[in-house]
Structure 1
Amino acid sequence: MIAILKYNAGNSLSVENAVKRLGYESVITDDPDVLKNAEKVILPGVGEAASAMEYLKEKGLDEVIKNLTQPVLGICLGMQLLCESSEEGDTETLRIFKTKVKKFPPEDLVPHTGWNNFTSVKGKLFENVETDENCYFVHSYYAEPSEETVAVTDYILPFSAALQKDNFYATQFHPEKSADTGMQILKNFLSL
């Protein structure tokens, strides 16, 4: 069973539908026991960092997430919450990835919305994916490139399109909204 984390963020149903299209069963939940016992966990995300972290802390899910040992995938806001901190609401996040989330400059060019390709990709998440393939982005904040960056996209400046450390994977783009390329990336994660 794939657990899709229910927290103060949207997009859970789109992720659930994409997982179902790939032939996997899933449940949307904020139950710590279900999360701990799931084969894989997905943190989807459309929302705001401070309120999302507040919800996770209130439910004790921040500690649950940090201690998960199965594959975990953060998507968009879900990825940003796995980083050290976010300028959005000056928020301390889960500190899985050693990178900070910053707001794109300048104001008149955000959010970054639409299709964009990669300047580099590597790792299991990107098997059978080329750098010139496009994925769908919608975000005003970005994770700085770091040693855990496994895909880079350039919009105003180069940023982490995906991160990976141990059992934690994350994408700034929405694989569930990124047509065949996104489904390949989601399939790669689900088959880990």
Structure 2
Amino acid sequence: MSKKKAVVVLDYGSGNLRSAVRAVERAGATVTLTGDRHAAEAADGLLVPGVGAYAACMAGLRAVDGPRAIGRRLAGGRPVLGICVGMQVLFERGVEHGVETEGCDEWPGVVERLQAPVVPHMGWNTVDVPTGTRMFAGVADERFYFVHSYGVRSWELETNGRTTPPLVTWADHGGDRFVAAVENGPLWATQFHPEKSGDAGAQLLQNWVQSL
């Protein structure tokens, strides 16, 4: 029997973390909920959750040295999964109510308000998955649960053949297209909540844990 993978769910004061912890445990990992940077850097996998305002999440993340932990993990090719605002903070910046906040800048791009007739985008939605995905293995045609008013509406990272380009998954709400998920080497992220997405979300988290 192979040893279970150790995952840290980063606790920086954002949202209901227990559902994320339980979901990753069900996916087959042992999970520690902590804000300790050293534990976050040492784990087999790091999950960065996020609920609420971009600026508040970034402030909380900085308070526990989260951007440094994320950066150091990625520099060593060690897996990180961002969920919801935990995905958004991986981009260069966020703009909410005219306030611009610097993000972790792992990817270029801006998180901005969705341009749809009804916001927030709340509920189940299909996603447009690229070929070659590991994240969506077995669940490419399923629906996932979204709750957000902001998103990344254009993908700006060009690798020009120097490195393997990230796999970007899109979704549509009210005619507005936005990034629903990204697979970029060790860095994976979802705008939707896999921990609230039933069997499909459970399979996606299992895919991540198995990739560690």
Same fold judged by TM-score > 0.5? Answer: yes
Query: In 2, are the aligned partners of 1:18 and 1:183 still within 8 Å (CA)?
Result: yes
User: For residues 117 and 134 of structure 1, what CA distance do their matches in structure 2 show?
Assistant: 4
- Of the candidates 145, 160, 181, which is equivalent to residue 200 of structure 2? 181
Measured in 2, the distance between the counterparts of 1:29 and 1:169 equals 20
1:64 paired residue number: 69
The CA RMSD over aligned residues, in Å, is 1.5
**Of the two, which has the highest radius of gyration?**
2
Partner of 1:121: 130
The question of whether the paired residues in 2 share the 8 Å contact of 1:97 and 1:165 is answered with no
1:28 match: 33
CA contact (8 A) 1:74 1:171 kept: yes
Other-structure match for 2:188: 169
- CA distance, structure 1, for counterparts of residue 34 and residue 44 of structure 2: 14
Mean CA deviation greater in 117-126 or 171-180: 117-126
Matched, 1:191 2:210: yes
- Runs of 5+ unmatched residues, structure 1: none
- Residue 51 of structure 1 deviates from its aligned partner by 1.4
Q: Give the Å deviation of 1:149.
A: 4.9
Q: Secondary structure at the match of 1:176?
A: helix
With over 3 angstroms needed to count, the CA separation of the structure-2 counterparts of 1:59 and 1:22, relative to structure 1, is closer
**Secondary structure in 2 matching 1:65:** helix
Preserved contact between residue 149 and residue 160 of structure 1 (Cα < 8 Å) = no
* 1:17 correspondence with 2:17: no
* Counterpart code for 2:151: Y
Percent of paired sites with the same residue: 37
Of stretches 142-151 and 33-42 in structure 1, the one that deviates more from structure 2 is: 142-151
Indicate conservation of the 8 Å contact 1:9/1:48, yes or no. Answer: no
The one-letter code matched in structure 2 to 1:56 is L
For 1:6, the equivalent position in structure 2 comes to 11
Query: How do 1:40-189 and structure 2 match up within 5 A?
Result: 40-68=45-73, 69=76, 70-88=78-96, 89-106=99-116, 109-122=118-131, 123-130=133-140, 132-146=141-155, 148-156=166-174, 157-189=176-208
8 A Cα contact 1:80 1:101, kept in partner:
yes
Deviations 1:34-71 (A, max 9, x none): 01110000011212111121122233222121111311
Deviation per CA, 1:83-117, whole angstroms, max 9, x where unpaired?
A: 111112411100112221110125x6111000000
Once residues 59 and 15 of structure 1 are traced to their aligned partners in structure 2, the CA distance between those partners, rounded to angstroms, is 19
Give the total of aligned pairs. 190
In the TM superposition, structure 1's runs of 4+ consecutive aligned residues that sit over 6 Å from their partners are none
Cα distance in 2 for partners of 1:58, 1:46 equals 16
1:100 counterpart SS class: strand
